[in-house]
Amino acid sequence: MALYHIVTGAAGFIGSNLVKRLNERGVTRIIAVDNLTRAQKFRNLVDCEIADYLDKTEFLEHLRAGNFDGAVDAVLHQGACSDTMEQDGRYMMENNYRYSLSLLDFCLEQEIPLLYASSASVYGGGRVFREARANESPLNVYGYSKFLFDQVVRRRLADAGSPVAGLRYFNVYGPREAHKGRMASVAFHFFNEFRSEKRVKLFEGCDGYGDGEQRRDFVFIDDVIDINLFLLDHPEVSGIFNIGTGRAQTFNEVAVATVNACRAMQQLGALSLEEMRVQGLIEYIAFPEALRGKYQSHTEADISALREAGYAAAFADVATGVSRYVAWLAAARA
């Protein structure tokens, strides 16, 4: 009998994209694990094929009872509370850290691959984004929950008899993220703002950066899924890896790409950033006080470790990725 792939956070952004791509490979014996308290996430799985769905709590009970022993091919752990503004540290640590420990124990005991979502938030306000303890200083409890689990993985890798790979996602954007609300990508919010208000709003300058010039490593979802599947196909690879493009781009660049992609669908020509400013298509708003001291104004993944592990594919830049995403969003709402 074929074994199961378990995908946690399966109805979420990255999880549902993983399920869809596994389906395209002919993999349908998938146990989809999630928390559907916010029921609208179910839409992400409507066009996917799965063997069963389990609530995250029910799944953990089955796991601890031994009901999945010998029945699993791999675990792709994408489930987590990713709200960086969450103030309930007890909930965050139980949901992100303790839950992940249970999965790690299971995978090491069963000697099956574990791919799990870490986060670039572990680097906090630092300027060196390389997978080393000296560079890690999270600014919030979400980042700390990810950091702490990464530390456990590092200690246990030397004795692991099966692959464990942590993926430190940078700023991922793309299809199937609408349910995230305010935590969705800026590309998603810029698209909606432009469609409804004919303009997009960015933060004014902060931390020495000009208006809209804060920089992030924006990585398109297709590239993220490609890396997950690469690691799944290469069980000889273990470790913690940055998942970004290796190139920081500005929020202004995302705004320009979004506006121009929307204009192209209306048969209108591309505009420069300055032309958009003059025409009022881009507006700058005050930087939120609640984010001061908790905001990463510059991220740029050092992807040397990923390249050394053998992943050689090129990444979509903002102009390319956002254009694809806008086309998908427009088609989804047609």
DSSP per-residue codes, 6-56: EEETTTSHHHHHHHHHHHHTT---EEEEE-TTSGGGGGGGTT---SEEEEH
Element (H, E) at 72: strand 72-77
Name residues whose C-beta falls within 8 Å of residue 116's C-beta, 6 or more positions apart in sequence: 75, 76, 77, 78, 100, 103, 104, 149, 164, 165, 166, 167
Torsion sign (Cα): 234, 236, 240, 241: negative
Whether pLDDT at 86 is above 60: no
Give yes or no: 180 in active site: yes
The encoded tokens of residue 59 equal 């799944």
pLDDT of 274 higher than 60: yes
The answer to whether the CB of 185 falls within 8 A of the CB of 260 is: no
CB-based contact 297:216 (threshold 8 Å): no
CA 116 to chain centre: 11
Q: How far apart are CA 193 and CA 311, in angstroms?
A: 36
Percent of the chain predicted with pLDDT > 70: 96
Which pLDDT score, from 0 to 100, does residue 87 have? 61
> Does the pLDDT at position 84 exceed 70?
no
Using the Cα atoms of residue 198, residue 221, residue 152 and residue 99 in order, give the sign of their dihedral: positive
Whole-number Å distance between alpha carbons of 302 and 176: 27
pLDDT of residue 206: 86
What pLDDT shows up at residue 252?
A: 98
User: What does the block give as tokens for 46?
Assistant: 């409507």
Distance CA 32, CA 34 (A): 7
Distance in angstroms (rounded) separating the CA atoms of residues 31 and 29: 7
Phi, psi dihedral angles at 175 (to 5 degrees): -55, 150
Catalytic residue among 116, 142, 173, 325: 142
In sequence order, the β-bridge partners of residue 240 are 166
Can you name the residues that pair with 216 across neighbouring β-strands?
249
| 300 touches 217 (CB < 8 A) | yes
Q: Which residue has the higher pLDDT, 91 or 24?
A: 24
Q: From the candidates 20, 53, 56, 180, give the one annotated as an active-site residue.
A: 180
Residue 76: strand, helix, or coil: strand
Torsion angle in degrees (nearest 10) through CA of 230, 122, 128, 302: 10
Q: Are 194 and 266 in contact (CB under 8 A)?
A: no
β-pair type (249-250, 4-8): unpaired
Instruction: Give the mean pLDDT of 287-304.
Output: 86
Euclidean distance between CA atoms 290 and 284, whole angstroms: 17
Residue 83: band (very low, low, confident or very high) from pLDDT cuts 50, 70, 90: low
Structure pTM?
0.94
